């Protein structure tokens, strides 16, 4: 038979030939398979024999022992092998139906005839061993198409593999030479399961992809050429040169109204170094305010259109600059807490020989402050600097028109008492609900201490008019004036039991140099704004007219209750009080007027609040 001789297998299947050509493998022909001279007897399973040889038509076991009729022991062994083969076939998947082992119809026809064991090629046993091997587990990276070829067909019955196994055994028995080729093909197919590129479709697809890639590389996307290094270097050089030319172009600016042409790369510090900006840096100062290092303070200030700029910034074209010296800085120092005693702040009255103002007074009495004693780390000098509560100086101010804060007040004053007229004056004031200030002479107080006490009891104020009423001109006799005032204050304290600091120097003569020597003895120096000249006895009507005409709030009216005949003053006083009351004025003492003055000055911010 053609199948038995192997001649039907000389031409390989079309797909197999294409695959071998793609893999550069030589074609397999039946003549190329060597047949050994002697072969070991191979048992044939009973279920693979043709139907004519099974059952009653089967040869007898007692026939002659030949290659076709092996001994009984061999048949028993073959029966066991067949039983094992059937078991493996039931467990193994059908391969012939899906893998297309048979390459031609003649091979299928030849499968119905058994092949003697002596003529069976050793490759047949190898093929059966290959086919009965358990199915390979698919590789994790295996293409899904090949995994489907490994799996059994969905409509295939679990036991249909027996027919396929029987057909394959008959085919291998009938064509031993084809069996060897089948084994080689199965090995190639098994390797293809793990390498999709070894299949015909995979290799053709790969060749198509490679050819398409070569086409795209050569046609659609031409290969890029690299830019020469010399071109890149040339571009960099041109960029650097262009940048230098741009940043060094000339621009015009204005400094304090004067025009200059400078480079665009200039900063304000560069302009200062070049002398275009001439403002200097601030100085470094010692703790006492002396200069340690000129120019060692804050840097100079530059303003562009009124807005301060950073000195390290580039100058902008068309800038309109103004300049200013930098701020001074104080050296670093160590500090110790200390008390800062108050100091004097005396306003010059402008006159050293006469008093031409209504009041000179302490607008602030002076308050000690809390400070620190600073010791410079560079200079070693010491100085006291404020820290915490500020020191308030003792400020002395002189007022020609008193500030009353809108209150319509007036002060009536009487000098040179006490005398026999003092009680009459007190009675008139009481009848009009008025009070006054009595500047009494020390000697007179000693003679009439009861009258001094009567003034205090009526609600009026007792003040100092020196000890003897001696008028001292200028400052050369200031020591005598100081003694007169101190002695009078002591007499007032002896009579009334309290200190007095309100004085009116005789004749109004006063020097600003007396404030410090009289510290603690004098806080108010009273002048006057209206002088009735009653001491000249001009007549009652004249005294009334002078005291009540064109009176303003804060006025201090001068009259006398001692030093001579004061009957005109007593006669005029009642009319004066009634007229001023009708004008809406309120009567206050000089000390009360001074308090009103301070409050008004604090309210308008003229003096600090203590």
Q: Catalytic amino acids?
A: 415, 560
Give yes or no for a contact between 284 and 293, defined as CB atoms under 8 angstroms apart.
yes
Report the relative pairing of strands 369-376 and 333-340 from DSSP bridges.
antiparallel
Give the sheet arrangement for strand 382-386, strand by strand: 333-340, 369-376, 382-386
Residue 491 to residues 234, 388, 499: CA-CA distances in angstroms?
108, 42, 10
Size of the chain in residues: 610
Contact 292, 278 (CB under 8 A): no
Round the CA-based radius of gyration of the chain to a whole number and report it: 68
DSSP state of 218: I
φ, ψ for residue 378, nearest 5 deg? -95, -50
Tokens of 62: 């007692």
User: Collapsing DSSP states into helix, strand and coil, what is residue 108?
Assistant: helix
Q: For 423-442, b where at least 16 C-beta lie within 10 A, e where not — what string?
A: bbbbebbeebebbbbbbbbb
Asked if residues 232 and 246 have their Cβ atoms less than 8 Å apart, the reply is: no
| Separation CA 541–CA 543 (nearest Å) | 5
Q: Please state at what angle helix 161-174 crosses helix 122-132, rounded to 10 degrees.
A: 160
Half-sphere exposure of residue 328, counting CA atoms within 13 Å on the CB side? 13
> What is the Cα–Cα distance from 586 to 408, expressed in whole angstroms?
6
């Amino acid at each position: 038979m053609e199948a038995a001789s192997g001649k039907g297998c000389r031409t390989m299947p079309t797909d197999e030939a294409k695959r071998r050509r793609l893999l550069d493998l030589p074609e397999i022909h039946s003549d190329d398979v060597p047949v050994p001279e002697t072969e070991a007897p191979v048992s044939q399973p009973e279920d693979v024999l043709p139907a004519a040889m099974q059952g009653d038509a089967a040869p007898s076991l007692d026939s002659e022992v030949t290659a076709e009729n092996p001994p009984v022991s061999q048949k028993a062994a073959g029966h066991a092998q067949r039983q094992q083969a059937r078991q493996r076939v039931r467990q193994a998947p059908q391969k012939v139906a899906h893998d297309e082992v048979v390459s031609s119809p003649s091979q299928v026809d030849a499968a119905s005839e058994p092949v003697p064991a002596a003529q069976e090629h050793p490759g047949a046993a190898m093929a059966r061993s290959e086919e009965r091997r358990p199915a390979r587990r698919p590789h994790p990276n295996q293409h899904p198409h090949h995994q489907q070829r490994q799996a059994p067909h969905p409509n295939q019955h679990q036991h249909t593999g027996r027919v396929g196994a029987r057909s394959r055994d008959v085919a291998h028995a009938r064509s031993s030479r084809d069996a060897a080729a089948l084994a080689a093909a199965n090995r190639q197919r098994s390797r293809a399961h793990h390498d999709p590129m070894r299949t015909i479709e995979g290799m053709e697809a790969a060749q198509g992809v490679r050819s398409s890639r070569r086409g795209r590389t050569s046609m659609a996307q031409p290969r890029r050429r690299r830019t020469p290094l010399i071109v890149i270097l040339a571009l960099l050089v041109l960029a650097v040169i262009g940048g230098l030319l741009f940043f060094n172009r000339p621009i015009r600016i204005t400094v304090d109204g004067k025009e200059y042409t400078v480079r665009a790369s200039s900063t304000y510090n560069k302009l200062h170094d070049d002398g275009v900006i001439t403002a200097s840096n601030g100085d470094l100062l010692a703790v006492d305010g002396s200069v340690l290092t000129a120019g060692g303070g804050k840097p100079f200030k530059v303003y562009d259109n009124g807005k301060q700029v950073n000195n390290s910034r580039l100058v902008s074209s068309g800038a309109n600059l103004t300049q200013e010296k930098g701020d001074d800085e104080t050296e670093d120092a160590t500090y110790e807490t200390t008390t800062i005693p108050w100091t004097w702040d005396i306003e010059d009255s402008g006159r050293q020989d006469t008093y031409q103002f209504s009041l000179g007074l302490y607008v602030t009495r002076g308050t000690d402050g809390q400070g620190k004693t600073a010791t410079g780390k560079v200079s070693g000098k010491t100085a006291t600097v404020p820290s915490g509560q500020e020191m308030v100086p003792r400020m002395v101010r002189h007022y020609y028109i008193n500030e009353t804060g809108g209150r319509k007040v007036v002060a009536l004053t009487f000098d040179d008492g006490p005398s026999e007229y003092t009680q009459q004056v007190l009675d008139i004031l009481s009848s009009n609900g008025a009070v006054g200030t009595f500047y009494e002479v020390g000697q007179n107080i000693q003679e009439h201490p009861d009258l001094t006490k009567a003034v205090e009891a009526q609600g009026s104020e007792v003040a100092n008019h020196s000890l003897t009423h001696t008028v001292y001109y200028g400052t050369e006799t200031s020591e005598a004036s100081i003694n007169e005032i101190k002695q009078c204050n002591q007499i007032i304290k002896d009579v009334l039991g309290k200190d007095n600091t309100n004085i009116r120097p005789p004749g109004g003569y006063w020097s600003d140099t007396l404030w410090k020597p009289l510290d603690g003895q004098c806080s108010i120096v009273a002048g006057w704004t209206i002088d009735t000249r009653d001491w000249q006895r001009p007549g009652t009507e004249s005294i009334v007219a002078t005291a009540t005409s064109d009176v303003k709030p804060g006025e201090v009216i001068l009259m006398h209750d001692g030093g001579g005949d004061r009957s005109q003053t007593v006669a005029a006083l009642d009319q004066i009080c009634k007229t001023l009351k009708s004008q809406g004025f309120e009567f206050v003492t000089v000390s009360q007027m001074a308090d009103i003055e301070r409050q008004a000055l604090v309210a308008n911010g003229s003096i600090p609040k203590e």
